[in-house]
Each structure stands twice: as C-alpha cells, then as structure tokens.
Amino acid sequence: MNPFDQATIDPRSRRAHTAPAAPQLRLTLLAHVDLSRVGHHARLEPTPTQAVARLHPEFSDGAPLLDPFVSRSPVVLGQDSAGGVIVDVRGTRTAVVLDGQPVSGTATVAVDRLDEGVVVELGTQVVALLHLHRTGDDRGRASFGLIGPSDGLARVRREIALVADLDVPVLIRGESGVGKELVARAVHRSSTRRDARWVSVNMAAVPANLAASTLFGHARGAFSGAVADHRGHFVEAHGGTLFLDEVGDTPPEVQVTLLRALETGEVQPVGARRPTTVDVRLISATDADLEGRDDFRGPLLHRLAGFQLFVPPLRARRADIGMLFVHFAEAEAEAIGVAEHLRRVEVRRPWLPAGLMGALARYGWPGNVRQLRNVTRQLMILHRDRPSLDQWATHLPRLLGAASEARAVTTSPVAPPAAPAPTPTPTPRKRYRHVDDISDDELVGALRAHAFALKATAAALGVSRTALYGRVERCPLVRPATALTAAEIEAAASTHPDLKARAAALEVSPQALKRRMTALGLR
C-alpha cells in the first residue's frame, strides 16, 4: 500500500479544521516545472519496513511528483533512533542536495532541524522542504490574503479568526517586513466594521510636534498655521478601524492622551474646549521591544495589547518561500508583460531552476517578505528578455548584497561554484525553536537561571524575544509584575537594594518591576 494514499490535503482549499494527534513529517513543494504545484505537500508516514517514505508520493493536489528528470528509482527516507531522518540515495540516479550539500550514499537530518525544515533539491527542477508540520489540517480556514502553508502562518490565520469580530484593541508584533499591515487589514476585513472606514497612520513618519494634532485634530487658531479646524485621524476613523503602524514611535507626551482616548472613547482636539466622542477599533503594530523601553508607558502598552498577534519572520516560515516567490513573480510578470514565460511548462528548461529556489530557501532574509518581494522584482526585470531565470547565479549574490554574508542559512554558497559572479562566504544563521514546544517547567527554570532577564532567557531557550513575551504571558506558573503589591516590593528592596537582584527575587523582569514601581509611586 502506498503510504501516501491519505496525503490529499490541499493548503489552498477550505474545509473543516482537524488538529493532528502528533507532528507530521511533510514534503512541501517549493519549486516544480509546473508552478501551479508549488505549495502542495505530501504527508510522509512510516511503513512496516521502517522506511518513512519514498520520494514518489502523491501530493495534496492528487498527483504524484512525476517529473521526467527525477529518477523513478526511489530516494528512501528512514528514521534513526533519535527521531531524525536518514536520507538514502544509493538506489537512485537522481542528484539530491540537502541544504546546499550534495548527498552520496546516506545522510542524516537531525530531528531539531526538521522544525524549520531542510531544503531538498531533486535534480535540476524540483525543490521541496522536508519538515515537521504541527498545526494540523488547515482546510476550511480563510487565507486572509496571507500566502503560504507554514505552521507559523496557520497560527496567525487561526488567531485572526478568533479576534477579528471582537472589538478589543489588537497589537501586532514582528520584525520589519513580515507583513504586519497585511495582518491588520485582514483583521479589519473580517470584523463587523469591514464596511466602515480604514485609516492607517505610520507614527514613525509623523513629526513629534504634530502628533497630537494628527491623531486628535485641532481647532482653528490653536497654533500658528492652524487656519481651519482639523478633524484628526481618530475622528476620520469614527465607526471603523484606526491602524497605528510603528506605534512605538508615539511621542511620550502624546501617549497619555492616546491612553485616555482608548479608555474613555473621547479625544480632545488641540485648542478645542470640549472633547469629541469617537467609536474606533484600534489596531497597532511594532517591531520594537516596548517592554524594555523607559520612554513607552506600561499602561498604554497593556491597553494597546488587548490581544497580541505575533507574526513570525520569514526565516521561520521556509515552507512559505516558494508560494511567495511565485506570487510575486506572477504579479511582476503581468506588470512587465512577460506572463507567458510563467505559464509555459517546459520540462527540459524550467522557468524556475532548482538551484535558484534552493538558494532562496536557504537564505536568512533579514528583510523578511519585503526583501523577498524586492529580490523577486529585480530578478524578473533582469530576465525579462529570457524565457527562464537561467542567469540567476550571475545576479543573486549582488541582489542579496552584504546581507547574504551575515544571514545565509547554510555553509554552502548562495550560488553554485561555477557562477560567473563571485559568491560571498555565508555564515550559519541563528536557528529558532518553536516557542510552544517549551514546557511551563522549562520556561520557569530558564527564567530563574537567567534572573528573569528576558533577553538572556530567550537566547538560552533558542527563541526570539518577541515570541518569549507571549509565552511568558500564557504561562500559569509565572506571576505578572502587575500582581505585586507595594509591601512585597518594599520587603524585597530591604534585602535587595539593586533593581536586578530585587527583580530576580520577586521573579519578574527588571523592566516589568520598574514599571510596577512607577505605577505604585515607589522608588
């Protein structure tokens, strides 16, 4: 019996969600001669002979791999005693490359590498990601315009569905370029306010001296140059959604007024005698560590974060890279008039070479999805007079630039050694584990071992600091600093005059303790 007979899950379809009993080992297509297959996957299941699978499975689009330039003799995957995967190529004529390293004989993929995935190049035309999938069948869930089948993106979609129709403020967190505004728009479009106004403001682009007027409006004559009344963005968004991007750049003197607006539903235009009542759903976004900053008010942060959405970086979503690249390439091909290049299925000369996708999937993407889109656009323009992206090795090192030296994923070159252009020497990028794999006891133990310093704890656990914040908030064994009483803090201060030592004794972070002391009027 083919172990892939049940592998008929399509990440683009919309059927009911069923959570898995255990993580699944999957192959997700990142590149194929037929671009419509990119993003489909096969579930790999054990067989009685201990072989996990042979790389001729039926994928979630109902078709086997079926590439004329992949040998019909199988690549065999087996499991080792530690839960890793043994890749055996002794019985195949297909050239196999794992994360940039050619395989001859057998190779072992450690289990800890399967969370982020290993890039598998089969010949010159097919690229897949061998990875663990933890979030179950994502059929039946709306995509919200978020492209990709990764676990991280599936979690974001689920959380959008949970919070969208609630009128609580939402704080979206994640690195620059991950698509926080796209997530914010998805929340708005799925809310009860979908037909009302959407107003977007980038706080980093608003001069500090104009921030209050920009957000809350002003009355005529309120200051020099105020020749007419100005409504402000809160009033403009009345009945709808106001999105504050880069909310961490809100000037400290405006934060108090913003907090009052959220608490009372009233805004006070500059120079106006009476406040204005507004009905606004606030969504904000930041890539900053607001908890660790002295210039951002804790009460405002708590108010903004009625619900937090954490958007993972692209390096933690390698399964999404193929679909994103094809999506951006299709849009750019239409714009520059070469769409026919992508629609052509030519098995002897595929439009998307395996080497290019392998390099893209192994790269660390410090600029995240925004950087991938930019690189895709430039590759499309540079190849607009060619039927395929066959000159990628000439251009890619230059397009990735110095970042490829610091952020490359593996120890293999970004381009093949024979590339005409010099290839930078990459260094391994930092690998993150999935924050939900950390047990409550492990989390508390790591916090105590590092005196509740979140930066050091995150590094020790192998997770990002942003992800750690959310995990700490969900842990029932960690007491929030807001629960500390003045008596407790003063008692700790008598034996621990140093703030860091006092925070460790109270089992909270120094930043959180400082905010709590300020709120209680303690020094």
In this predicted model, what pLDDT tens digit does every residue of 152-192 receive, in sequence order?
A: 999 999 999 999 999 999 999 999 999 999 999 999 999 99
pLDDT at 424 over 50: no
| Dihedral of the alpha carbons of 495, 501, 507, 508, in degrees to the nearest 10 | 120
Name residues whose C-beta falls within 8 Å of residue 255's C-beta, 6 or more positions apart in sequence: 296, 297, 300
- How do residues 381-397 score in pLDDT, each as one tens digit? 999 999 999 999 999 99
% of the chain beyond a pLDDT of 90: 42
Answer whether residue 415 is part of any domain.
Answer: no
pTM for the structure as a whole: 0.71
Rounded distance between C-alpha atoms, residue 162 and residue 302, angstroms? 19
Residues 161 and 251 in one domain: yes
Residues 36 and 130 in one domain: yes
Instruction: Looking at mean pLDDT, say which of 4-18, 30-44, 480-494 comes out highest.
Output: 30-44
Residue 69 has a pLDDT of 62
Rounded distance between C-alpha atoms, residue 451 and residue 506, angstroms? 10
**DSSP of 38-107:** TT-EEEE---TTSEEEES--B-TTS-B---TTS-SSPPEEEE-TTS-EEEE-TT--S-EEETTEE-SSEE
Instruction: Looking at mean pLDDT, say which of 51-65, 329-343, 409-423 comes out highest.
Output: 329-343
Rounded distance between C-alpha atoms, residue 106 and residue 122, angstroms? 15
Domain end call among 285, 311, 337: 311
**How many other CB atoms are found less than 10 A from the CB of residue 195?**
9
- Which of 230 and 254 is assigned the larger pLDDT? 254
What Å distances lie between residue 442 and 57, 437, 481, CA to CA?
Answer: 38, 10, 20
- Chain centroid to CA 37: 23
- Which of 184 and 56 is assigned the larger pLDDT? 184
Residue 152 has a pLDDT of 92
% of the chain beyond a pLDDT of 70: 81
Answer whether residue 1 is part of any domain.
Answer: no
pLDDT at 56 over 60: no
Residues 228 and 296 in one domain: yes
Residues 306 and 321 in one domain: no
- How do residues 199-250 score in pLDDT, each as one tens digit? 999 999 988 888 888 899 888 766 766 667 788 899 999 999 999 999 999 9
CA geometry: angle at 355 spanning 73 and 66, to 5°?
Answer: 35
Tokens, residue 392: 């990628």
| Structural domains in the chain (count) | 3
Domain end call among 270, 285, 311: 311
Which residue do the tokens 């839960």 mark? 83
What's the CATH code of the domain at 89?
A: 2.60.200.20
Residues 350 and 292 in one domain: no
Rounded distance between C-alpha atoms, residue 448 and residue 273, angstroms? 52
Mean pLDDT of 55-64: 62
Mean pLDDT of 461-486: 79
Tell me the pLDDT band of 68, cut-offs 50, 70 and 90. Answer: low
Answer whether residue 170 is part of any domain.
Answer: yes
Mean pLDDT of 440-461: 81
Residue 482 domain boundaries? 435-520
| Proportion of the chain in helix, strand, coil states, percent, rounded to 5 | 40, 15, 45
Answer whether residue 7 is part of any domain.
Answer: no
Residues 259 and 320 in one domain: no
Three-state DSSP state, 245: strand
Residues 320 and 307 in one domain: no
- How do residues 310-369 score in pLDDT, each as one tens digit? 999 999 999 999 999 999 999 999 999 998 888 877 666 789 999 999 999 999 999 999
**How many other CB atoms are found less than 10 A from the CB of residue 441?**
10
Residue 364 has a pLDDT of 92
Residues 322 and 398 in one domain: yes
Residue 308 has a pLDDT of 96
pLDDT at 139 over 50: yes
pLDDT at 50 over 50: no
- How do residues 259-304 score in pLDDT, each as one tens digit? 999 999 998 888 878 888 999 999 999 999 998 888 999 999 999 9
Residues 94 and 163 in one domain: no
Residues 192 and 263 in one domain: yes
pLDDT at 2 over 80: no
Answer whether residue 145 is part of any domain.
Answer: no
Report yes or no: 443 and 461 within 8 Å, Cβ to Cβ: yes
Answer whether residue 179 is part of any domain.
Answer: yes
Instruction: Looking at mean pLDDT, say which of 8-12, 94-98, 491-495 comes out highest.
Output: 94-98
Residue 516 has a pLDDT of 83
- Which of 403 and 83 is assigned the larger pLDDT? 83
Tell me the pLDDT band of 5, cut-offs 50, 70 and 90. Answer: very low
Radius of gyration for the chain, computed over Cα atoms and rounded to the nearest angstrom: 26
Answer whether residue 19 is part of any domain.
Answer: no
What's the CATH code of the domain at 197?
A: 3.40.50.300
pLDDT at 18 over 70: no
**How many other CB atoms are found less than 10 A from the CB of residue 55?**
25
pLDDT at 431 over 50: no
Residue 227 has a pLDDT of 62
Answer whether residue 329 is part of any domain.
Answer: yes
- Which of 62 and 126 is assigned the larger pLDDT? 126
**How many other CB atoms are found less than 10 A from the CB of residue 238?**
17
Residue 10 has a pLDDT of 29
Residues 251 and 373 in one domain: no
Burial 379-417 (b: 16+ CB within 10 A, else e): bbebbeeeebbebbbebbbebbeebbeebbbbebbbbee
Residue 46 has a pLDDT of 53
Residues 225 and 240 in one domain: yes
Domain end call among 293, 311, 329: 311
Residue 287 has a pLDDT of 93
Tell me the pLDDT band of 129, cut-offs 50, 70 and 90. Answer: very high
CA geometry: angle at 403 spanning 399 and 407, to 5°?
Answer: 125
Closest CA to 216 of 306, 284, 296, 280: 280
Tell me the pLDDT band of 492, cut-offs 50, 70 and 90. Answer: confident
pLDDT at 23 over 70: yes
